[in-house]
Amino acid sequence: LLVNASEASARKMPDTLFGIFFEEINHAGAGGLWAELISNRGFESGGHKFPSSIEPWSIIGDESSVIVSTDLSSCFDQNKVALQVQVLCDNKGAKICPDGGVGVHNPGFWGMNIEQGKKYKLVFYVRSQESINLLVGLTGSNGLKKLATVVVVAANVSNWTKVEVLLEAEGTDPNSRLELRSTTKGVMWFDQVSLMPLDTYKGHGFRKDLFGMLKALKPAFIRFPGGCFVEGSWLRNAFRWKETIGPWEERPGHFGDVWNYWTDDGLGHFEFLQLAEDLDALPVWVFNNGISHNDQVDTFHVLPLVQEILDGLEFARGDPDSKWGSIRAAMGHPEPFDLRYVAIGNEDCDKTQYHGNYLKFYSAIKEAYPDIEIISNCDASAKALDHPADLYDFHIYDNASTVFSLANHFDGAPRNGPKAFISEYAVHGNDAGKGSLLAALAEAGFLIGVEKNSDAVEMASYAPLFANNNDWTWKADAIVFTSSQAYGTPSYWMQHLFKESNGATLLSSTLQANSSDSLIASAITWRNEIDDNEYLRIKVVNFGSSTVTLKISISGLEQNSFQSFRATKTTLTSTNVMDENSFEDPKKVSPVETMVEKVSENMDVVLLPYSFTSF
Ligand code: AHR
């Protein structure tokens, strides 16, 4: 490998090159990054209709002592469904309640992680003609292990009344549930029951461990909120930003019909922008352009949707005294968010209304916000676009050898038109399993190609980001979690080896003709903010089954600079190329760092079979 470190052969790479893509898929947000512990907090998961579905709420007691149903009596206009609980027993009459009373419980998203000493804020709305004594508790999954109990006396609640309770856990159980019990005979209604840990990132509602794993990647941007989630199978189920802002109780929530689950939209437009800011990443908002998987808004009728998006931009960027900016300010963020990128739709280029709709959105956004960079869904890597765009979206999911070979895909892409945003790349199918080393190596090879073509590619992000271990709709993913645990797949760890690349300098590096086809390499220099020193980084993927001894020759550095060099070598490999990480062995395939004994301008380095090595 010949590396030329002279300035003449160098090129700065985009500051935005590597980021992340968050989609509400596999319960990534609801039951994942968003720390809300109650699943179906508004009893709306069956839709805004009567009867709706209370799933996963269940009754405590039997049907001779408690009957539950839904009706449309909520005080919240946009989500009218409420839970009616009819208690048929009490402590003194003919029908005595079982110990502790009867009521309902919610297991969260496959169990709530309740931790000893931590505090949880419970909020709910209640109504009843009677004055009721409620026993509010956190328990283990079968209700026997008590983790926190508070008695709430709800008197004078003939009108809907908000109740707030702080619960402090006296024990730990990752599989806990919330219970609402009573021994007061009569009928009561509940709505909008929320249980939030106080311990979230900056109190912003993000689960700390999962947030930390994102932050550790140092993403330059975060694309959100999908993917197909943005489109919907049907337009009526697409993500509509206006329905995800303001007080959480008033958000209608919606059924994500592509990934097949309900979300209360606690993680809404504001929270996504906040997430980007907290990650120190630029937000990239993908919005629905009037196209779903099965229906489309004719361009002739699209202007109301265009206005909706302009309003969403004002919400993000407008002055705190503008119509929509003032709502953002009221939500606690008077300063505008740094929104500079939007994508018009997702994977919609071939849809009949796309071009017409795109142009309507494009011209309206450019007129109001000339600095916003607009991303088209149409691939311009081989053929020029027939419409204006700042960037074009490119998605690739394929088997490992195809993804590895696509490292060269952008060699011939135009350098003077819109740049590529590879917003979704991953190995998919058998080669990926639930996240294999093989997949990570192919993706690493692909990303090395992205670095080398970073004059044609401006941004790239892996997909999907998260999978709740109880809802693997899409495999593989970067981060797998349960209520209490999380691990990175090899593809997650692979991305760590690229986190110095944003804004770094790409050096010329050439593998000589006799090198194997299974090798790909890049060389960069990057400045470490901590010590303000400049470092050289060489990355090589060995995508073959043989050990390779690679001679690295570095030219263009001052003669004596090698004397002062210290080098580390980080390797991502494993004994079997199909090895995966798991909760039992979360770091089986993860980077291992060692010191390099001797650094010189000509070095022989050993590359293990199926490995990704960074020097
Ligand atoms: O990442 C999963 C899905 O793959 C995304 O929702 C979609 O954009 C792509 O087809």
pLDDT tens-digit series, residues 389-443: 999 999 999 999 999 999 999 999 999 999 999 999 999 999 999 999 999 999 9
Atom of ligand 1 nearest to the CA of 228: 6
DSSP 471: -
Distance from residue 227's CA to the centre of ligand 1 (Å): 5
Determine whether the shortest distance from the Cβ of 463 to ligand 1 is under 6 A.
yes
Q: What is the pLDDT of residue 559?
A: 62
For 565-587, what is the mean pLDDT? 94
Q: Mean of the per-residue pLDDT values for the chain? A: 95
User: Which mutation among 224, 228, 260, 428 tests ligand 1's pocket best, with the greatest number of atoms within 8 A of CB?
Assistant: 228
Does the ipTM exceed 0.95? yes
Q: Is 253 in the pocket of ligand 1 (CB under 6 A)?
A: no
CB 465 near ligand 1, within 6 Å: no
Per-residue CA distances from 44 to 119, 135, 307 (Å): 27, 24, 28
Residue among 291, 424, 461, 466 whose CB has most ligand 1 atoms within 8 A, to mutate: 424
Share of the chain above pLDDT 70, in %: 99
> Rounded to 5 degrees, what angle do the CA atoms 576, 582, 588 make?
45
Confidence of residue 533 (pLDDT cuts 50, 70, 90): confident
Does the Cβ of 226 fall within 6 Å of ligand 1?
A: yes
CA 550 vs. chain centroid, Å, equals 38
Q: At what angle do helices 303-317 and 269-279 cross, to 10 degrees?
A: 40
What is the model's pLDDT at position 560?
A: 61
Angle (nearest 5°) at CA 254 between 253 and 260: 135
Distance of CA 40 from the midpoint of ligand 1 (Å): 25
Residue 7 has pLDDT above 90, yes or no: no
Residue 25: per-residue pLDDT: 98
* Nearest of 106, 110, 157, 107 to residue 131 by alpha carbon: 157
3-state secondary structure of 231: helix
Q: What digits encode the pLDDT tens for the residues 183-226?
A: 999 999 999 999 999 999 999 999 999 999 999 999 999 999 99
Q: What is the pLDDT of residue 514?
A: 72
Query: Is residue 137 over pLDDT 70?
Result: yes
Q: What is the rounded average pLDDT of the residues 218-239?
A: 98
Query: Which tokens belong to 237?
Result: 């189920």
Closest atom of ligand 1 to 229 CA is 6
